[in-house]
Amino acid sequence: MIEFENVRAGYGGGDVLQGVTLTVERAAITCVVGPNGAGKSTLLRVLSGLLRPSAGTILLDGKPVHALSPAEVLAAGVAQVPQQGGLFGNLTVRDNMLLGGYLIRSERGRLKKRLDELAEAFPVITTRAHDKAADLSGGQRRIVEFARALVTNPSVVLLDEPTLGLDPKTCEVVFESTQTMNELGVTVLMVEQNVRFGLKLAHHGVVMERGQVLFAAPADELLARPDMAALFFGAAPETSHPEGGL
């Protein structure tokens, strides 16, 4: 449903994305992994409209989105959860959620119904509704960020390193929340530094290196590849890795 075709993009000092061609499947979780500086965040940025590609095309359900502004991309159904600090700390959870619904504020019935649906999927929205976002734990904030991105009912959600700075227990909450998001029918395109975590969560995996796609394959296949172990985990076999678990 999202097709990147030979996309090139950069920040003025030459192209960071060096011709990315990639298909992201509808209603699945796709996780992009790769070393620092590979261009993973840049890939999300060209999709969300924050960065204009210098060449190539991006199609969403067959329609070009690579020349749209960020607001137009959001209106087309692609929401991004920022890498960090997406909530207004001084506002309550409830008010943060209402801000997420700003685009549909005139449709009160629709907004209320959507907030109720999300409160069911992510209970913290109700239990901490009247607390300031700044008073939540890191994991609870991440869940509110996820839920807030879903208020306008996007078809695609972009997550850039959703587990950054979270402890292993809270990573599990992010794991489940991402699955919940996907079960609501959302296509998730995520970037994850924790390769094992990301590929266990995702259906499809994409390995990027130096602005290009090195491999794209079912996530479990990528996890099992010996060259993946060498790229990311050192040469040690997967089972002996101390992180274990997720």
Ligand X SMILES: Nc1ncnc2c1ncn2[C@@H]1O[C@H](COP(=O)(O)OP(=O)(O)OP(=O)(O)O)[C@@H](O)[C@H]1O
Residues lying near Mg ion in the complex (CB under 5 A): 41
Q: Provide, rounded to whole angstroms, the least separation between the CB of residue 118 and Mg ion.
A: 27
Interacting residues with ligand X between 155 and 174 (CB under 6 A): none
Q: Does 41 bind ligand X (CB under 6 A)?
A: yes
Chain-centre distance for alpha carbon 180: 13
| Residue 192: closest CA among 181, 206, 203 | 206
Q: Does 40 bind ligand X (CB under 6 A)?
A: yes
φ/ψ region of 116 (left if φ > 0, alpha if ψ in -120 to 50, else beta) reads alpha
Q: Does 239 bind ligand X (CB under 6 A)?
A: no
Could you give the 3-state DSSP secondary structure of residue 67?
A: coil
Could you give the 3-state DSSP secondary structure of residue 235?
A: coil
Which residue number has the CB closest to Mg ion? Answer: 41
- Binding residue for ligand X, selected from 2, 7, 38, 199, defined by CB under 6 A: 38
CA distance 230 to 208: 15
Token output for 96: 């943060």
Q: Provide, rounded to whole angstroms, the least separation between the CB of residue 32 and ligand X.
A: 8
Q: Does 39 bind ligand X (CB under 6 A)?
A: yes
Please identify which residue in the block is written with the tokens 């700044």.
134
100 binds, among ligand X, Mg ion, none (CB under 5 to 8 A by kind): none
Binding interface with ligand X (CB under 6 A): 11, 16, 34, 36-42, 193
